[in-house]
Amino acid sequence: MREPRRRGICPGLSAPMPTGDGLLVRLMPTEPVPPDAFIRLCEAARRHGNGTMEISARGSLQVRGLTPCTAPLFASAVAELGIVTHEGVPVIIGLTPMSAKLNCGSAAIPPCAKGKGEEFAASQDIPANAVDVAAELRSVIANARLELSPKVSIVVDDDGALHFDAVSADIRLREVGPVQQPRFCVGLGGDGASATWLGSIAPRDAAGAVLALLTVIAAHGPTARAADIVESKGVEAFHSISGAWIVRSPAPPPRIPAEMVGLHQGRDGTFAIGIGLAFGHVHADVLAEIVHIAIIDGVQAVRPAPDRALLLLGVAASRVADLTASAERLGFVVRADDPKRRIAACPGAPACASGLIPARALAASLTSVLDHFRGTRRNGVLVHISCCPKGCAHPSSAALTLVGTERGCGIVRNGASRATPDDYVDLANLAAEISRISVEALEVAYG
pLDDT tens by residue, 368-379? 777 665 655 455
Q: How many structural domains does the chain have?
A: 2
CA 295 to chain centre: 24
Average pLDDT score over the chain? 84
pTM of structure: 0.82
Residue 148 pLDDT > 80, yes or no?
yes
Domain match, 102 and 215 both: yes
CATH code (residue 101): 3.30.413
Q: How far is CA 176 from CA 185, 246, 290, in A?
A: 7, 14, 36
Convert the pLDDT of each residue in 149-203 to its tens digit.
988 999 999 888 889 998 899 999 999 988 788 999 999 999 999 999 999 999 9
Residue 211 lies in a domain: yes
Domain match, 234 and 98 both: yes
Cα distance between residue 37 and residue 45, in whole Å: 12
Cβ proximity of 298 and 64 under 8 Å: no
Domain match, 237 and 347 both: no
User: In the listed set 176, 208, 242, which residue is the last one of a domain according to the structure?
Assistant: 242
Domain match, 236 and 372 both: no
Residue 344 lies in a domain: yes
Cα distance between residue 218 and residue 214, in whole Å: 6
Give the amino acid at 299: V
Cα distance between residue 184 and residue 207, in whole Å: 11
Residue 439 lies in a domain: yes
User: In the listed set 211, 242, 273, which residue is the last one of a domain according to the structure?
Assistant: 242
- The confidence score (pLDDT) of residue 11 equals 80
* HSE, side-chain direction, 13 A CA sphere, residue 354: 19
Cα distance between residue 100 and residue 122, in whole Å: 9
Residue 49 lies in a domain: no
Can you give the residue range of the structural domain that contains 219? 93-242
Residue 279 lies in a domain: no
CA 350 to chain centre: 23
Convert the pLDDT of each residue in 408-446 to its tens digit.
889 998 899 999 999 898 766 666 676 677 666 666 665
Domain match, 350 and 221 both: no
- The confidence score (pLDDT) of residue 377 equals 42
Domain match, 238 and 358 both: no
- The confidence score (pLDDT) of residue 328 equals 97
Domain match, 232 and 344 both: no
Convert the pLDDT of each residue in 349-368 to its tens digit.
888 888 898 888 888 877 77
- Count of CB atoms within 10 A of residue 46's CB? 18
Residue 291 lies in a domain: no
- Count of CB atoms within 10 A of residue 420's CB? 9
Residue 1 pLDDT > 50, yes or no?
no
Q: What is the DSSP string of 325-362?
A: HHHHHTT-B-STT-GGGGEEE---TTTSTT-SS-HHHH
Domain match, 99 and 238 both: yes
Q: Between residues 291 and 119, which one has the greater pLDDT?
A: 291
The answer for residues whose C-beta is within 8 angstroms of residue 124's C-beta and 6 or more apart is: none
- The confidence score (pLDDT) of residue 385 equals 92
Helices in 199-334 by DSSP H: which ranges?
206-219, 226-233, 236-242, 284-296, 320-329
How many residues appear in the chain? Answer: 447
The answer for residues whose C-beta is within 8 angstroms of residue 428's C-beta and 6 or more apart is: none
Helices in 53-194 by DSSP H: which ranges?
70-80, 130-144
Convert the pLDDT of each residue in 43-99 to its tens digit.
999 999 999 999 998 899 999 999 999 999 999 999 999 988 877 888 988 776 333
Residue 36 lies in a domain: no
* HSE, side-chain direction, 13 A CA sphere, residue 291: 25
**Which 8-state DSSP code applies to residue 389?**
T
Secondary structure class of 175 (helix, strand, coil):
strand
Secondary structure class of 249 (helix, strand, coil):
coil
CATH code (residue 429): 3.30.413.10
Residue 101 lies in a domain: yes
The answer for residues whose C-beta is within 8 angstroms of residue 441's C-beta and 6 or more apart is: 399, 400, 413
User: In the listed set 191, 209, 242, which residue is the last one of a domain according to the structure?
Assistant: 242
Residue 261 pLDDT > 50, yes or no?
yes
Cβ proximity of 115 and 131 under 8 Å: no
Please tell me the least confidently modeled range out of 230-234, 270-274, 398-402.
398-402
**Which 8-state DSSP code applies to residue 78?**
H
Cα distance between residue 218 and residue 153, in whole Å: 13
* HSE, side-chain direction, 13 A CA sphere, residue 253: 6
